[in-house]
Structure 1
Amino acid sequence: MLCDLNIVFPVQNFNEQITRGQLNEVKNTLNVAEQLGYTHVALNFRPITATSKNNKTKLPNDLNELNPINIDRDFKEFRTRLKLYTRITVRVDDPTQCQYVAKFQQVFDIVAVEPITEKSFQSAISNLEIDIISFNLLERLPCFMKHKTLCSAIDKGMMFEIKYTDFLSNKSRAQVISNTKQIIRASRNRGMICSSGCSVDRPFQLRNYNNAMPLLKMLGVDSNRCSMMFQDWSLKVLLNGRLRIKSYKQTISVGGEDWTSNPEKVSNVKQGVEAYKKRRTESALDRVLKKQKS
């Protein structure tokens, strides 16, 4: 199973409807992703200044209007071919804007934050329950990446995203390499996912796992963790996001059939989720009670 958790959705406004031409572009990109071997794909909704101070348009009051991506209606032909999910990436430049992010957790399968400043980065780690922290690698990082800070985020279940399409830029390639190496160094080669960040009007930017792996190896990631960035760690993001919607306190799955309820597919992922780490160990009293019952 290969995951691409960042194919950019063409709509950039909550009140905007996708056109037929844009929908065809999305389907063509999904066809390319399927041919490249991807099985789990997330459509990424990036609202323009959704939480900015100067934003005049307010967020919709109805939760159903927050998500412009309708997978059941627009992508019926991909039901048996791809596992499609919805994602939102919010640019945050002020810690006070983090309160809006909580509204998206009940609507989108994956919630990601792109911090612009150091304060917003610290606030996202300490105050938010999100799945992915993403950066604009074409620009300088908001702050120096420290191992202690990144580890605290990874321990909470957050993943740091590296988009390989940023390396296709000719102007800022040196900056992209410097930012990526800083994230890899501070995270100690763990807690990262690799996605495309591909626009639907440029499906030729998509790459197979075998083509992206040499790039990650060049930056210092070993082969085993390269595969985890596309598989285990990406599936962990999906598991955390889906359990937030489909379960109560990440314990009981409710609703229709879902890949997270299949033990064969998530046996390697469950152990990495924080909710499954905190299991009560068997005490001496428990062993005595078991003997008495038997």
Structure 2
Amino acid sequence: MQCDLNVPFPQDVTDESIKQLKLTLSTLIELNYTHVAINKNLTPEMYHQPSKKQKQQMTQQQQQKNEQYNLKNDLDAFFKYFEQLENKFSSKNLKLFSRVTVEIDDPNQLGSIFINLNAPSNPNRFDLVAILPLSEKGLSFLTNNNGASSNSASIDILTFDYANYFNGFHLKHKTMNGITRRGIKVEILYSGIFNMSNQSNLKFVNNAKQVVRCCRKGIKTCIISSGAKKNTNVRGKIAVESILSFLGLKADIYSRMLKENPLSCLLNGRLRVRSYQQTIVSGIDVMQKNDFIDEESLETVNGFVVAKREIDDNNDDEHVSKKQKV
């Protein structure tokens, strides 16, 4: 059982981009991955509603682009394609999950984006919610009192842009440990190391080592995902373990980052969607996306999914006769 919690959904949806996404998923199946999250990325321009003063400072092309874009329609289109992918790969032992990554530059621009994404009345709710800070202000969203108390239960993953150097801010042990103590996993994306540019490789190594150092070697807090936009950038278990070894991690941490930590993250996200206050869920497997209980002749006994017992008439008569003899 292997997990990849970051397979990017294309920003520009075309037949070619969807075909490439399907190729990536097929490659992950060949590499024995079983749990994969399709990631929808939201930039500040997509969810922030500018004020009148800010609109006046925008160019005419930017104003037209902002007026034409509709976040609700964009998310509806994502879930439409996600359902098609889910139906296509459900018979291939691949469980797909939906994920959204919100880029944060200034927390004041967020508005009610997290409230809308996690609203119980929303029919399309993401299984995983992640944030990507673009600056030190963006990281402070998880460290200040308001963000820590009101939004920590809504966020599962903290990720970074490993293709570029962190924008002038340095991670600290106290900051990262305070975030991870609330159950938020820190993600490392390895696809950047396979770019042809040497500068890109240096950025990945520098950023990844900084994250691992601040997270106490990633024993209980880190996960590793591909973040691959092409199927040529995904790797199997042995190759990923080689990358982790290159970053200075020990062998006993590999399975946690590849399997245990991602599954814990998925469990937390699924409980938020399908349970009461992330505490109680009865009669369903939160890791199984499809409602298959009735179709597969299953039933729930004391909150566990088991196969239905079929009692033959002959066995039933023998059981009754034994009772009469007693």
* Range into which the TM-score falls when normalised by the shorter chain: 0.7 to 0.9
Amino acid at match of 2:118: Q
**Aligned in 2, Cα 1:137/1:211: closer, same or farther, shift over 3 Å?**
same
1:43/1:84 contact within 8 Å kept? yes
CA distance in 2, matches of 1:118, 1:125: 10
Amino acid at match of 2:115: A
1:41/1:84 contact within 8 Å kept? yes
**Which residue in 1 is equivalent to 2:225?**
195
2:6/2:227 contact within 8 Å kept? yes
CA RMSD of aligned residues (A): 2.5
1:87 to 93, 96, 99: 99
Question: Is 1:207 the equivalent of 2:235?
Answer: yes
Question: Is 1:29 the equivalent of 2:21?
Answer: no
Question: Is 1:50 the equivalent of 2:46?
Answer: yes
Question: Is 1:39 the equivalent of 2:34?
Answer: yes
Counting only pairs closer than 5 Å after superposition, residues 180-191 of structure 1 correspond to structure 2 as: 180-190=208-218, 191=221
Unpaired segments ≥5 residues, structure 1: 13-17, 262-294
CA distance in 1, matches of 2:115, 2:244: 33
**Which residue in 1 is equivalent to 2:135?**
117
**Which residue in 1 is equivalent to 2:115?**
102
After superposition, the C-alpha distances for 1:194-243 in whole angstroms (9 at most, x for unaligned) are: 000011xx201110011011111121111121221111111111111111
**Aligned in 2, Cα 1:59/1:257: closer, same or farther, shift over 3 Å?**
same
Identity of aligned residues (%): 32
Measured after TM superposition, the shift of residue 89 of structure 1 is 1.0
Number of equivalences: 253
Amino acid at match of 2:180: I
1:66/1:104 contact within 8 Å kept? no
Question: Is 1:131 the equivalent of 2:131?
Answer: no
Unpaired segments ≥5 residues, structure 2: 51-65, 120-124, 290-326
Q: What secondary structure is seen at the aligned counterpart in 1 of 2:178?
A: helix
1:51/1:92 contact within 8 Å kept? no
CA distance in 2, matches of 1:166, 1:188: 23
State the TM-score, normalized to the length of structure 2: 0.71
Measured after TM superposition, the shift of residue 63 of structure 1 is 11
2:87 to 58, 71, 76: 76
1:147 to 173, 195, 206: 173
Bigger radius of gyration: 2
After superposition, the C-alpha distances for 1:231-283 in whole angstroms (9 at most, x for unaligned) are: 1111111111111100111122268654269xxxxxxxxxxxxxxxxxxxxxx
CA distance in 2, matches of 1:138, 1:27: 24
Q: What secondary structure is seen at the aligned counterpart in 1 of 2:47?
A: coil
Question: Is 1:241 the equivalent of 2:237?
Answer: no
